[in-house]
Amino acid sequence: MDRHLEAFLEMLAAERNAARNTLLAYRADLEDFSGFAARRGQSLAGAGAATLRAYLAALSAAGLSARTAARRLSALRRFFRFLLREEVRPDDPTGLLDAPKLPQGLPRYLSEHEVDALLAAAAGRPPGQAEVMTAGLEMLYATGLRVSELLSLKVTALPGDGVVLMVRGKGGKQRLVPLSDAARDAAAVLRAGRAAGWLFPGGKPGTALTRQGFAKALKLVALDAGIDPVRVSPHVLRHSFASHMLARGADLRSLQLLLGHTDIATTAIYTHVLAERLQRLVESHHPLARSRTGGG
């Protein structure tokens, strides 16, 4: 591995407490660019702005999405700023590069009826899996947790009364998340008889359930519920939590705290739900809207 890339990844792990999957993603993106730069006779750390522009153009020509290109540019910016800070090079060649324009896609989410169907289907899975999937779904939907946050929970994260969860989110930041009665009861079933260890244990002793294992089981639950598995993922449940909360009157600031977003602008992707709710309010209560729907 390139020594500058290795130092950069060590910094992310030590100073930013970056998760393993985050480090792997940075490594893959930067090694992809490193190969491109090498074909142009440049090193990863020594690449210039022209090479970076050519790389972004090559990504577009290869048919990669704007979102993927933007993620790779973000990794490159962070890497070159690290080199600048460490005085490995005197400039940041990404400074004048324009980020690819991202489509304004709306987050995918399920209806409340579909979430109910998933929960019913989870309860009908074989013994063992039923308890795990019921607790997982109840907790994801009740809290909006990221699946990595859910599966990293220890038994000790759930206090005796089970009213709130202590969650360690991105960057090691901790937050308290309230639990619904149903989520608390489902979690208590998993916690029963255990004083320590993972709340969602994996197949091997001493390991936690993997994201891939949970996602695979979730697809089976979706099939049982009569929902296209392509539409269902742990992150879709997080979107469903946020969308349904806003639709029922929650404010963005509270939602930001619950989701663990550093910037409220990230939470604002759910404002489409607010717009729909406001439109319904106008249609239901505005005098002109009532008179027109009533035939004038």
Across the chain, the runs of DSSP E, i.e. the strands, are: 164-168, 174-178
pLDDT, greater one: 17 or 38? 38
pLDDT at 130: 94
How many degrees, rounded to 5, is the angle at CA 37 between CA 33 and CA 42?
A: 140
Question: Does the pLDDT at position 280 exceed 80?
Answer: no
User: What tokens does 169 get?
Assistant: 């989110």
Separation CA 155–CA 195 (nearest Å): 7
pLDDT at 296: 45
Question: Does the pLDDT at position 43 exceed 50?
Answer: yes
Contacts of 76 (CB under 8 A, 6+ apart): 29, 30, 33, 52, 94
Which H or E run contains 287? Answer: helix 287-293
pLDDT at 163: 80
Asked if residue 92 lies in contact with residue 134, where contact means CB atoms within 8 angstroms, the answer is no
Average pLDDT, integer, range 29-35:
95
Fold for the domain defined by 112-279: hpI Integrase; Chain A (1.10.443)
What's the pTM?
A: 0.61
Domain range 3-85, CATH architecture: Orthogonal Bundle (1.10)
Domain residue limits, the chain:
3-85, 112-279
Active site residues: 146, 170, 235, 238, 261, 270
129-165 pLDDT tens trace: 999 999 999 999 999 999 999 999 998 888 766 688 8
Separation CA 254–CA 246 (nearest Å): 10
pLDDT at 290: 55
Separation CA 269–CA 218 (nearest Å): 25
Mean pLDDT is lowest, of 89-98, 167-176, 236-245, for 167-176
Across 111-257, the runs of DSSP E, i.e. the strands, are: 164-168, 174-178
